[in-house]
Amino acid sequence: MKKRIEELEIALAKAKAKYKSSQNPIVIKPEFEAFEVYHEDLEGRFTWDEAKEACEALGTGWRLPTKVELNEMYKKRDDIGGNYYWSSTEDARSNAWIQNFDFGYQSNFVKYANLNVRAVRAFKKFLRYG
């Protein structure tokens, strides 16, 4: 367990460094609210609980996408890539929703499975006055 935590911390540090150097965030603007998609999948595969923690560890506002947001990401899959991703939307105590980016379907899945993770956060436009 300690080794896994150390691996996650190293992967998160690398991801943070890459993100800071990224100049082209993917911004998705569905009808409800725009959100930013992290520039790459988090390194490795995660259980649902690990996925939530790993997204939050990226910094302010980063989190797992909702089921609806994940489907919006699927619509932009050519920019995002991927395979099976966790959503933050729970279906039952032991299940959460996932999305297959190859075929587009969503289904509930056991939370202890190891799947891909792509973090999102609300996109905020900052306006300058004066």
Burial (CB < 10 A; 0-12, 13-18, 19+), residue 46, is buried
Q: Where are the domains of the chain?
A: 2-122
CB atoms within 10 A of CB 97: 21
pLDDT tens for 15-66 read 765 655 554 566 666 555 788 999 999 999 999 999 999 999 999 999 999 9
Q: pLDDT tens digits for 57-110? A: 999 999 999 999 999 999 988 887 778 999 999 998 899 999 999 999 999 999
Q: Which of 40, 36, 64, 59 is nearest to 124 (CA)?
A: 36
- Domain 2-122 has what CATH class? alpha beta
